[in-house]
Structure 1
Amino acid sequence: MSSHHIVRENQEPAMIVASYEALDEEYIGQLLEWSPTIIANDDTIDFFLAADIKVDVVFSLQERVYPQEQIQTFPIKKGFIPDALDYLIQRNHKAVNIICNALDEALETYCTLINIVVLSHGRRWVYVRHRYEKWKEAGTRVFAPENRLKSVVGLRHMNPNEFVTEQDGFIYLEFNADEYVCIGEEI
């Protein structure tokens, strides 16, 4: 992209950061390159403030004044991630990267409203419907719920819900239901 590329508001995925330790700092830096809307909580705000990274929103259980004046604060009502997703959806965001320690079951209820990618401890999780197709290097681990799979191409079964790519190339997963399915891959 040229340096003249114009980024429209809400065009790039927002970032919800529930745990900065769940993702390598270098990878977090890559996600920050496009200046996404950043949403933090009581556990992650100090990480951003110490690194002098602009935060847009904090969902908190306490009242606090932050050195960055533009930060909007909201009380946590349903839970940090659901509250943050509600905030983004109300403001017409189309996609979000969520950095957290574990997948939250509540995410499945938001899949139809916003494109969700979860980044957690060396894995990237996406929610897809019908089929998943992606080019992968040989030996890459892929995680998918076996009870939702109709067909698998390019993957060898390793452990429950864990597969490995057989060779460089495209892999295909087709699902036996119309609901969203959470697929994980190594990053």
Structure 2
Amino acid sequence: MSSHHIVRDDQEPALIIANGAACNPELLGQLLEWSPLVIVLDSAIDRVMELDIKVDVLLGDFDREFDPEKYKTSQYPLEIVHAPAQDQTDLEKAFDFLIEKGHKAVNVVWATGRRMDHTLHNLTIAALYQDLLKIVFFDDHSKAFLLPKKFQKWYSKDTILSLIPIGTVENIVTQNLFYPLQNEKLQLGYRTGSSNHVAEDGIVTIEFDKGDLMLMECFD
């Protein structure tokens, strides 16, 4: 797989490669093409190197006798970020690193699949960062991101859209969804808006008053 760095613009999203299930190489290549900075979590570095990807930052707690120095030559220039704190996951530490460096947006791959607890935590922790960093998760079946209180976007008819609350979300109003919501409440574990779809080609509008609401654009 070719390296990235076609662009060097801090306004373009950085890319974090976590250590969940791998995505399609075509998707990964598309994201790499437009990423000014590629961060790999330490547990994924060997898998990433097998794909011949140029890495900018190797980040993690480097536990279990992990030696980051051995990657310096093959990945030169490589920034090594040792983040030993055990009260955060390595993905959270990567978000903090980007915020400290002034980045405003990041795409994340390999953050779903494999262990269920990792998948759930990786997606829901985005709520903690939503005012500081625009986070978009990708895998082979979905694109997921938190919504602002009012969201509008053009979609083609029958596009699958799932509304997943992180906790409780109140007074949700939608337009141009096949199953509309009118001042309704969604609550994780009790009622979600999974597997809705777009009614007609055109703008979909989603509004809500309170809570954290994740939209998943899904493709089977």
Q: TM-score, normalised by structure 1?
A: 0.85
* 1:95 pairs with 2:99: no
2:179 is matched with 157
2:94 to 84, 88, 94: 84
Count matched residues: 181
2:213 is matched with 181
Deviations 1:114-167 (A, max 9, x none): 111111341111122211211111111111147445211111239941211112
CA contact (8 A) 2:27 2:140 kept: no
2:78 to 71, 76, 86: 71
Q: Match of 1:144, SS?
A: strand
Q: Return the letter of the residue paired with 1:63.
A: D
Q: What pairs up with 1:118-157 in 2 under 5 angstroms? A: 118-145=137-164, 147-157=169-179
Deviant stretches of 4+, over 3 Å: 6-9, 19-22, 145-149
1:112 is matched with 131
Q: Percentage identity across aligned positions? A: 30
Deviations 1:32-57 (A, max 9, x none): 11242111123321233222221011
Over the aligned positions, Cα root-mean-square deviation in angstroms equals 2.3
Query: For structure 1, which runs of at least 5 residues remain unmatched after alignment?
Result: 1-5
**CA–CA distance in structure 1, aligned partners of residues 79 and 27 of structure 2:** 25
Against the structure 1 CA distance between its residues 149 and 24, is the aligned structure 2 distance closer, same or farther, given a 3 Å change threshold? farther
Q: Match of 2:103, SS?
A: coil
Query: For structure 2, which runs of at least 5 residues remain unmatched after alignment?
Result: 1-5, 113-118, 181-190
Q: Return the letter of the residue paired with 1:141.
A: I
Against the structure 1 CA distance between its residues 22 and 156, is the aligned structure 2 distance closer, same or farther, given a 3 Å change threshold? farther
1:180 deviates by: 4.2
1:22 deviates by: 4.4
Against the structure 1 CA distance between its residues 115 and 155, is the aligned structure 2 distance closer, same or farther, given a 3 Å change threshold? same
Q: What pairs up with 1:19-58 in 2 under 5 angstroms? A: 19=19, 21-58=21-58
